[in-house]
Structure 1
C-alpha cells in the first residue's frame, strides 16, 4: 500500500495529465484543421502543432512512468524504467526547444532590429522554422538516447509499497547512474533555457524603449504594440516560471530515489513537475486569439446543446 500523501499526489498528477492532454490536444487539432482548410500554415501554428503533440506524448509517458514505478513488480522495472525514461527525456527536451522557438519567433516578429544580421534573421525566420524544429528533434535524440545504456541504481517501489534496490544484474552505483542522468538532463535544457531568458530580456528591453517613446504622445493614446509586447512577455515569463519549477522538481525526484523518508518530497515534486505542460497549454490558449475564439465557439456549442436537452 502506497503512503496516503503519495496516493493524493498521483491523483492530482492524473488530473493535471487529463487537463494537459485535453488542452494540448485541442491546440494540435485546431491548428491542424486550419492547416488542412487553408492548405497553408504560419510558422507559429507549425510550432504549436509540434509543441502540443510532444506534450501529449510527454503526459502519457508521465502516467506510464509513474505506473511502472509504483504499481509494477520491482523485478520488471529495469527495462521499463530505461525505455520510458528515454522517451520522457526526449519529448521533454523537444517540447522545451519548441517552446523556445515559439518565443524566439515572437521576439523576432515584434522587435524592430537595426543590425544587419538580426534583420536578415527577421526576414528569413519563417523559412528557418521547419529546419529548427527538425534540428531540435535531432538534438533531443542525442541527449536522451544515451539513457538507454544507463542502468538506474535507484530505489524503486514495488506494488506492495516496499522500497528496495533493483535486483537486476550490472547495477551501477547511485553516483554514476544519477550523475549521468543529471548531466543529460542539464545538457538538453541549458541552451533552450538560455535562449528563452535572452528572448524575454530583449522583449522587456524593447517594451521599455517603446513605452518611453510613447510618453511623448497623449496619455489617452494606447499603442497596440505595447499590448503585444506585454502579452508576449507575460507568456514567456509564465513559461520560464513553470519550467524552472518543473526543472527543480525533476532534480528533486532524481535525488529522492523514491525512498520512504523522501515521500513528501517525492509527492510535491510529482505535482509540480506535472503542472508545467498542463498549465502552460492553458496559457497558450488564453494568449492566442485564434485558439481562444475556437475554445469559446466550442463552449457555446456545448452550452446550446445542453440547453436544448434540458428544455
Structure 2
C-alpha cells in the first residue's frame, strides 16, 4: 500500500499529464493542420511541432517512471530499464534544445543587430531551423544513448526476477552508474540552458533600451514592439523557471528508488517534474495569438455544457 502523500502526488501528476497531452497535442495538431493546408510553415511553428511532440513523449516517460518505481517489476529487467533511461534522456534533451531554438529565433527576429555576422544569422535563421532541429536530435542521441552501455544499478534483476537490492554490489554500482547518469544529464543540458539564459538577457536588455528610447517621445500610444518584447521575455523566463525546477526534480528522482525513505521528497519531485511540460504548453498557447485564437474556438465548439445538451436532446 502506497503512503497517502504518494497517492496524492501521483493523482496530481495524472492531472498534469492530461493537461500536458491536451496542450501539447493541441499545439502539434493545429500547426500540422496549418502546414498541410497552406503547404508551408513558419520557422516558429516548425519548432513548436517538434517541441510539443517531444513533450508528449516526455510525459509518457514520467508515467512509466512512476509505474516502474511503485507498481510493477517489469522495468526491473536490466535491458528494459536501460532502454527506458535512454529514451527519457533523449526526449528530455531534445525538448530542451527545441525550446532553446524557439527563443533564439524570437531573439534574432526581435532584436536589431549592428554586427555583420549577427545580421547574416538574422537573414538566414529561417533556413537554418530545419538543420538546427536535426542537429538537436543528433546531439541528444549522443548524450543519451550511451546509457545503453552502462549497468543500471538501481535494479539489479535478472530475467528470472532475482534481485540483489540489499547486496554490497548494489551500493557500489549505484554510485558509479548514477554518477554517470547525472554526468550525461548535465552534459546534455548545459549548452541549451546557457543559450536560453543569454537569449533572455539580450531580450531584457533590448526591451530596457527600447523603453528608455520611447520615453523621449510624447506618444500616448503604447509601442507594439514593447508588447512583443514583453511577451517573449515572459515566455522565456517562465520556461527557465519551469525547467530549472523540473531539472532539480528530475535529479532527485534519478537518485530515488522505490525503497526511498524520504517519501515527501519523491512526492514533491514527481509533481514538479510533471508540471514542467504541462504548464509550459499552456504558456506557449497563451503567448501565441494564433494558438490562443484557435484554442478559444476549440473551447467554444467543445463546450461541455453544449455537449451535454446535445446528448440530452439526442
TM beyond 0.5: yes
CA–CA distance in 2 between the matches of 1:127 and 1:16?
35
Whether contact under 8 Å (2:69, 2:257) holds in the other structure is no
- Tell me, yes or no, if structure 1 residue 47 matches structure 2 residue 47: yes
CA RMSD of aligned residues (A): 2.2
1:258 deviates by: 3.8
- Tell me, yes or no, if structure 1 residue 266 matches structure 2 residue 266: yes
Whether contact under 8 Å (2:154, 2:170) holds in the other structure is no
Q: Which deviates more, 249-258 or 225-234?
A: 249-258
Whether contact under 8 Å (1:65, 1:85) holds in the other structure is no
* Unmatched runs of 5 consecutive residues or more in structure 1: 157-162
Q: String of CA shifts for 1:135-167, please: whole Å, max 9, x gaps.
A: 0000000000011122222279xxxxxx97288
Q: Indicate the residue corresponding to 1:145 in structure 2.
A: 145
1:9 deviates by: 1.2
1:220-239 pair list within 5 angstroms: 220-239=220-239
1:176 deviates by: 0.8
Q: String of CA shifts for 1:261-302, please: whole Å, max 9, x gaps.
A: 221111110110110000000000000111111101111112
Would you identify which runs of 4 or more consecutive aligned residues in structure 1 move more than 4 Å?
169-172, 304-311
1:1-311 pair list within 5 angstroms: 1-73=1-73, 76-154=76-154, 165=165, 173-303=173-303, 304-306=306-308
Q: String of CA shifts for 1:198-257, please: whole Å, max 9, x gaps.
A: 000000000000001000112512100000000000000000000000001111122333
Whether contact under 8 Å (1:152, 1:172) holds in the other structure is no
CA–CA distance in 2 between the matches of 1:277 and 1:164?
35
Distance 1:166 1:68, change over 3 A: farther
Q: String of CA shifts for 1:31-59, please: whole Å, max 9, x gaps.
A: 00000000000000000000001111111
Whether contact under 8 Å (1:154, 1:166) holds in the other structure is no
Distance 1:221 1:96, change over 3 A: same
Distance 1:172 1:147, change over 3 A: farther
Q: String of CA shifts for 1:40-88, please: whole Å, max 9, x gaps.
A: 0000000000000111111112112221221112784432221111101
Aligned length: 305
CA–CA distance in 1 between the matches of 2:247 and 2:300?
37
CA–CA distance in 1 between the matches of 2:190 and 2:298?
38
CA–CA distance in 1 between the matches of 2:53 and 2:151?
29
Q: String of CA shifts for 1:155-197, please: whole Å, max 9, x gaps.
A: 79xxxxxx97288x99962221111000000000000000000
Whether contact under 8 Å (1:74, 1:166) holds in the other structure is no
Q: String of CA shifts for 1:76-105, please: whole Å, max 9, x gaps.
A: 443222111110110010000000000000
Length-normalised TM-score, structure 1: 0.92
